[in-house]
Amino acid sequence: MNTQVRSSRQAALWDGRFQSPAADAALALSASLEIDLPLAEHDVEASRAHVAELCRLGLLAADDADRLDVALVSISGQLADGSFAWRPEHEDIHMNVEAAVIDAVGPELGGMLQAGRSRNDEIVTDERRWLARITAGLIEDVADLRSVLLTRAEAETTTILPAHTHTQPAQPILLAHHLLAYVEMLDRDTGRLRDASRRADRSPAGSGAVAGSGLPLDRHRVATALGFGGVTDNSVDAVSDRDYVLETVSALAILVGHLSRLAGELVLWSTPYVGFARLDDAFSSGSSMLPNKRNPDSTELVRARAARVAGNLTTLHSLMRGLPLAYHRDLQETRPQMFDAVESTRLCLEVMTGVMDSVAFDQGRMRAAAERGHARALILADRLVARGVAFREAHRRVGSLVATAEASGLDLSELSADILDAALPELASAPMPTVEEAIAAADVHGGTAPHRVRAALEAARERVDRMVRA
């Protein structure tokens, strides 16, 4: 699509009320062409539906409606091949399309195109249609990442990883269980995007500037023609509402926040001091100075984009919270935030799908780390509880053993049998539990016990397959 706006000082279409043209600075501030280009094709489609409705009402003869439709189809083709000539004095896509129609069919017939509608209801119609398409694409992108995560989890059902709380070693878990946590997050992200899309799926066309169209438009017929599932119920709300933007960008901010958490883990895991993961060359970079460097730049930038999308959401809230009803030109500034949030999310999803598809996990390093950090402390305490010891007493005694091990530079699992038997007589002569036994002990729904993880994997795979079939 052509993104070049040609300079011109021709009169604006609304200039009848004014004695002189807009100042250059005011024109530059109000112009939204280069921002709004993604909406242009939707504006043309909405205009075609409006022409059909004017014809149905008898306000346009069939031949005239056909001439207008041919002009709009021609404009659609010019938008597609980049040849459409944008004129800045017309400020936005709506008036550029209208001006092009007037150029094509003349001012008398072309001047009917705006009958019964306003730019106020046009822009929200275009935005809602654009969001419907783009949200569907983002949901597919989320599904791609979820599928990759699930495939990687299915391949790591015996890989043992130290789970952390407070960035400190806590308990051993299966890597598959850890990866499934992100699958759960993405499931919720999908639900939020679908909810936002469902509420956005209402046509405001026919709401006019604020009070509703002065023509007896069949708004339901227009909504159906444009692919909407229904119509908005209040014209004042319809032209001033941007909840559909706020909801979508809010869902995107949460989604990219999840991607940032995964990216942050990979940044940590890929450092040689941890060595749990190695990012593929395609998602790594070198240093301009240090020949030894292998930097996880892609994942670092995903973290940065998460902050950017959160900033988009904050800007949107700040724009909307103080506006009295109904339409204000302030609302024009919601679109750059919406477009940027969508593009940042799309790019981050593409990157993280590639990262997770190609990352190499070091199972040996993970297991070695899981063996350390006194990872078997809880299972020892739980076994004492099973022998009738109060948990707080069990906690105190095992904690004391951890302190003894640390003072000797040992892991809890390396303490001698004599020390263990003296501190834990209820477990005398019982061997130190293995990390596999510690993992198997978390045998509750949603826990890391192997058979629970296998069941979770099967359930997740069924959900993914069901979504693909839907």
List Cα–Cα distances, 33 to 85, 156, 240, 337, in angstroms: 11, 50, 20, 15
In 150-269 the beta strands, taken as DSSP E runs, fall at 160-165, 168-174
Cβ pair 248, 312 in contact under 8 A: no
> Is the bond preceding residue 326 a cis peptide, omega within 30 degrees?
yes
Q: In this structure, which CATH number among 1.10.40.30, 3.30.1340.10, 3.30.9.10, 3.40.50.720 belongs to the domain 369-469?
A: 1.10.40.30
Domains 15-115 and 120-221+228-364 share a fold: no
- Single pTM value for the model: 0.91
Catalytic residues: 166, 287
The CB-side HSE value for 334 (13 A sphere, CA atoms) comes to: 25
Instruction: Please name every residue paired with 164 in a beta bridge, in sequence order, or none if there are none.
Output: 169
Take residue 207 and report the two structure tokens written for it. 């709401």
CATH class of 15-115: mainly alpha
One digit per residue, the tens of pLDDT, for the chain of length 470 reads 444 444 444 455 555 566 667 777 776 777 777 889 999 999 999 999 999 999 999 999 999 999 999 999 999 999 999 999 998 878 889 999 999 999 999 999 999 999 999 999 999 999 999 999 999 999 999 999 999 999 999 999 999 999 999 999 999 999 999 999 999 999 999 999 999 999 999 999 999 999 999 999 999 999 999 999 999 999 999 999 999 999 999 999 999 999 999 999 999 999 999 999 999 999 999 988 988 999 999 999 999 999 999 999 999 999 999 899 999 999 999 999 999 999 999 999 999 999 999 999 999 999 999 999 999 999 999 999 999 999 999 999 999 999 999 999 999 999 999 999 999 999 998 999 999 999 999 999 999 999 999 999 999 999 887 776 66
User: Is domain 120-221+228-364 classified as CATH 1.20.20.10?
Assistant: no
Q: Where are the domains of the chain?
A: 15-115, 120-221+228-364, 369-469
